[in-house]
Amino acid sequence: MSTATSFEQQLTQWRHGLHRHPETGFEEAHTSDFVTQVLSELGMEVHRGIGKTGLVASLTLGSGRGVIGLRAEMDALNIAEDATARPYASQIAGKSHACGHDGHMTMILGAAQLLCERRDFDGTVRFIFQPAEEHGRGAKAMIDDGLFERFPVDEIYGVHNMPGMPAGHIATRVGGIMASEDNFTIHVKGRGTHAARPHMGVDPIVIAAQIVLALQTIVSRTLDPGVPAVISCTEILTDGIRNAIPGNVIIKGDTRSYTPEVQALLEKRMREISEGLCALNGAQCTFEYTHEFAPTVNWESCVPTVVEAATRIVGAERVEANIQPMMISEDFGAFLRVVPGAFAFIGNGDGSGDGRGSTPLHNAHYDFNDDVLVTGARYFAEIARLRLPRLAQ
């Protein structure tokens, strides 16, 4: 068996082991144990309990002062996996790695193994495993727990797999690459009544319908058409029954944007519309708006490293250096507010060939494409080797 084949099989084995035991935010105990075991066997000291279940391991060679951070997220989702024929399917009821964080962790572990074996850089590489990305809490928890004071880095790099992009292609851009996410809850308080006598009450369903439609005019009629933003109402809850108009309706959802100014404008206009329509119809309104994810904004100084590392690993024809910004969110943006760095997407598959990797993220049938593992591991290792001088042999 060739060394390359055995490395690929090792990564696949690690990934499948992580996939079987998905854990959600701040509950990643088994996952932390697994990652710690692998890193310890590679000879590294692992520091645990950073941001609750987060951990950091460092590899230092030579006397160089440069420090590069490579980050993976550890948490899974509360989605029941629909893959009974998959031999490594989730063994935890109602939870699965439906976003591919098992693959991201494996790529960083693979990079750690490559760098430990080659030992051809002068400086320090920190392998950062972050909890609770899915709800935007983990990066902040690690930062608040002194991550960069205890384990300083000059730059930090991360990736996310992307279904719909050809497997192994790598894409990035200077500036905003992923949006912020803000959550909102609108509580419309009317007066319930019998469905046959609507004139006796204040119907919050009709008012909520007006609010949902009116919110969609904010992006189309308040913002410059060239400014990206999304307002999505995703839940409507009532306390009514089939023959009774409810007294309360709750509308939940989120917004996506790229700048604090747009975030503030969305919040202001949403509040005005919600409270105004409730007042117009004789109802009361409670409006809540919270900031969950910062936008992910790549540092201009770090993007050339991503492009060069990707080009060396997959070839220039498979690298996109100016991808269109996406409205998805990732809490890697919190790190980039503190230290320089850059984020990239790695293609999980576009449905061509064997069709693997194109199932959307957060889907019960989703699975990370194992064919991408070696590419990702080599890419991360190459970033470290690019940014840290070669160690004299």
User: Is 147's pLDDT higher than 60?
Assistant: yes
Q: For all residues of the chain together, what is the average pLDDT?
A: 96
CA distance 101 to 98: 8
Paired residues of 127 in beta bridges: 57, 70
Tens digits of residue pLDDT in 214-262: 999 999 999 999 999 999 999 999 999 999 999 999 999 999 999 999 9
Asked if the model's pLDDT at residue 393 lies above 70, the reply is no
Buried b (16+ CB within 10 A) or exposed e, 265-304: bbbebbbebbbebbeebebebebebeeebbbbbbbeebbe
In the DSSP assignment, the letter for residue 78 is: S
Q: What's the pLDDT at 1?
A: 47
Residue 392 has pLDDT above 60, yes or no: no
Q: What are phi and psi of 59, to 5 degrees?
A: -120, 115
Q: What's residue 5's pLDDT?
A: 79
- Residue 365's pLDDT band, with cuts at 50, 70 and 90, is very high
Question: For residue 390, what pLDDT is reported?
Answer: 79
Pull the structure tokens for residue 47.
Answer: 């520091």
Domains, the chain, with CATH or none: 3-177+295-387 (3.40.630.10), 180-293 (3.30.70.360)
Task: Give the model's confidence band at 84: pLDDT under 50 very low, under 70 low, under 90 confident, else very high.
Answer: confident
Q: Quick one: what percent of the chain has pLDDT higher than 90?
A: 95
Please, which pLDDT band fits residue 391 given cuts at 50, 70 and 90? low
Residue 137 pLDDT greater than 70, yes or no: yes
Average pLDDT over residues 283-287: 98
In the annotated binding site for Mn(2+), the residues are: 99, 101, 134, 160, 362
- Work out the average pLDDT over 43-61: 97
Location of structure tokens 């993007």: 303
Query: Which residues does 356 contact at the CB level (< 8 Å), separation at least 6?
Result: 167, 349, 369, 371
Q: Please enumerate, by residue number, every residue annotated as part of a binding site.
A: 99, 101, 134, 160, 362
Q: Can you give the pLDDT at residue 333?
A: 97
Burial of residue 73 (CB within 10 Å: 0-12, 13-18, 19+) is: buried
Q: What value does the mean pLDDT take over residues 170-184?
A: 97
pLDDT average, residue stretch 111-134: 97
Tell me: pLDDT of 4 over 80: no
Q: How far apart are the first and last CA of the chain?
A: 28
* φ, ψ at 296 (rounded to 5°): -95, 110
